[in-house]
Structures are given as C-alpha cells and as structure tokens.
Structure 1
Amino acid sequence: MYQPLECFTKSWIFKRNDPKIESEDLENIRLFSEQRAGQIWRDYISDEQIHPDHFTDYDWMKKVSAQAPKPKVQWEKIWDSEQSSLPDELVEHFASWGDDTSVYFCCNNELVFELTWGVFKRTWKAFLFLDNGPVLVGKKKKQAAQFHSNGWVNLLFRES
C-alpha cells in the first residue's frame, strides 16, 4: 500500500533545511504505491482525468457549486516569508478538521501522499514545491483545496 519516500523522484523536498521537517513528521508522511494512489485519486479526485492539467468543467473541483464563499486565497507570499503557518483563510476553511484527520495530498493518479492534518500544517511549505495543481482532501471530509503554481489556492467543497 505504501512505498518508501525515497521512491519519489523529488524526495529532496522533504529533506531540505528550509523548510525543515522534523523526523517525527517525516515518519508520518506516507507515499502510496501507484496502485493505491490510483484508487484514492479515483475515489476523491477524478475517475476521468489522471492529472490536474486535464480537469474539465465536468470535474467536481471546477464546478461553481464546489467553490467556497471566498474561493481564492494567495499562498505564495506567506510561503516566501518567514511565517511558518498556513494562510489564515486556509486554516479557517479546514477549521472542522482535527489534527489527527487523515488527509491526502493528491498530485496525480500515481502520486498521492497520506498524512494527518496536523503534520500537513507543519510541513505545507515542503509540499508546495509541488504546486502544479495538487488537491488536498480529507478522508471522509467535504473541505478541499487545490494549489496552483500562480500562487493561488482554490478553497473547495467536495461533492458526495
């Protein structure tokens, strides 16, 4: 179900000194096998498209009904700053999630990470080296977010 993080070609993002990821957090970042990643992708993201670049208006995250009241938030300015916490709007959007909520950081149908919300909040800067459209979803949760390389994140609600 999982494979070592070293199997990920960009595993260096988790081993940098800036941002530094503590060893106990690193141990809780799991990389799914391609098969399991594909299943999570189909269940939570899309059973039609294999990569965020291919999303269409038929995919849930592109629908108007999936947009949060304030649908776009700038993440890059805080990412570039000394501030370590997520942008406030993101924290507010996911306010109902406990630190132990299982989350999936979904880059494409073969690359999905599993971790807890608490670990993501502490390590988000490393994950956003992968900013080409990944979708963050919570297990059995409605709230979601899609990060874009233009420095913006779309705050979303998944359909049932």
Structure 2
Amino acid sequence: MSQYRPLSDSGKEWVFRREEPFVSEQDRARILLLNPVAGANIWRDYVSDAYLFPDLFADDVWVKANRVGGADWEALWESDESGFPVEALEHCDNWGDDTKIYFCCHADFVIETTWGVFLRTWKAFLFLDSDAILVGRKKKQALQFCANGDVALLVR
C-alpha cells in the first residue's frame, strides 16, 4: 500500500489548481498527500502524540512552548510579491531546496513536499487549514502559520 493518497480525494486539490497563485504541473506532482496512517505517524513523531489538531494544543506542547520569534506572513501573502517572509527564511537557513518537509494541518491531513517546492507555492498552501505546522525532516527548526497572519518561528 502506498504511503500517499490522491490529493483529489481530500477535497483540497483546488488550492493547487487555482490561476492565482499559480502552481506548475511539475510542482503539483511533488505535492503529496500522505495516507491517514502515514500522516498520523508524521504528526505523532514531529508534532504531537497527545493532540490531533493544533487548536487543541496545551501551553506545554513544544509548538507553543518553543517559539523563538515571529513574522507577518499575511501582508506578503496578499501582495503581488512572490517572496517568503525573510525572518522565516533566515530561521530555516540550513534547509536546502531538496529538504523533505511536512505541512501538517492536523493528524489526518499531512502533505509531503520539498522546501524548494514549498517556497515556490507557499501562497497556495496557505489556503489550507489555519495554524498548520511546517517541519523539515531531521531539522530542528519549524514554522507555524497562525490564523492571525503571524508565522511563528519554532524550535523542536
């Protein structure tokens, strides 16, 4: 059994098929929705083994307890600029374009791609559920895209 499932099965594929922000066919092919078991495993290992959704996190969960800074993502997201918040780029400065990342909305919805694909398509990703957590495979840095327009800079 594959560790992936078709993004079309989730009802969320539309965010990557919009004209604006445009996501190329090559990048769409590298945006992979994990099946429920694989997604739950990534969530458990990288995010939380006690909570299934970010809005349920207690204050002692690392996502809340290990914030080292923040930046505004919303103003840049709403602009015509394609760049990514500088503070978040600096926070993840040791991530290469081929670093495997997981965009974790909740335990049942985790997307795998690479840092390079995410940086090109991040505006589309942020049409998905709020408070999503972005973690890099074997990386200590993480990001949380909060509903208030802030990106929390985190250390796992």
Question: What TM bracket, shorter-length normalisation?
Answer: over 0.9
For the residues of structure 2 that align with 1:116 and 1:14, how far apart are their CA atoms? Answer: 15
Kept in 1: contact 2:70–2:87 (CA 8 A):
no
TM-score (normalised: structure 2): 0.96
- Deviation track 1:15-57 (CA, whole Å, cap 9, x = no partner) reads 0000000111000000000111000000000000000010111
- Deviation track 1:101-157 (CA, whole Å, cap 9, x = no partner) reads 000000000000000000000000000012511000000100001111111110000
- Greater mean alpha carbon deviation, residues 102-111 or residues 85-94: 85-94
| 1:155 aligned residue | 153
Q: Number of aligned residue pairs: give it.
A: 154
Q: CA deviation at 1:5?
A: 1.1
Partner SS for 1:123? helix
Report the AA paired with residue 36 of structure 2: E
Output the aligned Cα RMSD: 0.8
Match of 1:82 among 80, 83, 86: 80
Matched, 1:141 2:143: no
User: Gapped runs of 5+ residues in structure 1?
Assistant: none
Kept in 2: contact 1:98–1:118 (CA 8 A):
yes
Kept in 2: contact 1:143–1:156 (CA 8 A):
yes
Partner SS for 2:101? strand
Kept in 2: contact 1:131–1:147 (CA 8 A):
no
Kept in 2: contact 1:131–1:148 (CA 8 A):
no
Residue identity (%): 49
Q: CA deviation at 1:8?
A: 1.5
